[in-house]
């Protein structure tokens, strides 16, 4: 190979190394951004879970709704009879 070929190869290698370093830097910054977003999401989920601790479960809510519907229906039946 000639000297010019070696210079071209060295230039190509340098370009690839620079691109690799830029991609690695970009990946690191993206990892940091994603980590921050996950931390914020985790904090919001913790807040949501804490606020829902005092609420009744869906089973209790549906049971109360069914009982109120039955009671109202019986009252209407008795009044209209």
Residue-wise pLDDT for 16-67, tens only, equals: 999 999 999 999 999 999 999 999 999 998 888 888 787 778 888 899 999 9
Beta strands in the chain (DSSP E): none
Query: Looking at residue 1, what is its pLDDT?
Result: 63
Q: How many whole angstroms from its chain centre is CA 64?
A: 33
Global pTM?
Answer: 0.51
* Token pair 């000639």 in the structure block, residue: 2
pLDDT digits (tens, 9 = 90+) for 54-71: 777 888 889 999 999 999
Among candidate residues 20, 22, 1, the one with its CA nearest the CA of residue 12: 20
Taking the domains of the chain in order of start, what are their residue ranges?
3-80
């Amino acid at each position: 190979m000639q000297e010019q070929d070696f210079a071209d190869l060295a230039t190509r290698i340098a370009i690839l190394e620079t691109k690799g370093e830029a991609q690695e830097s970009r990946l690191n910054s993206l990892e940091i951004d994603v980590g921050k977003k996950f931390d914020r999401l985790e904090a919001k989920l913790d807040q949501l879970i804490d606020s829902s601790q005092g609420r009744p479960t869906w089973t209790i809510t549906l049971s109360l709704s069914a009982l109120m519907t039955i009671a109202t229906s019986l009252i209407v039946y008795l009044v209209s009879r």
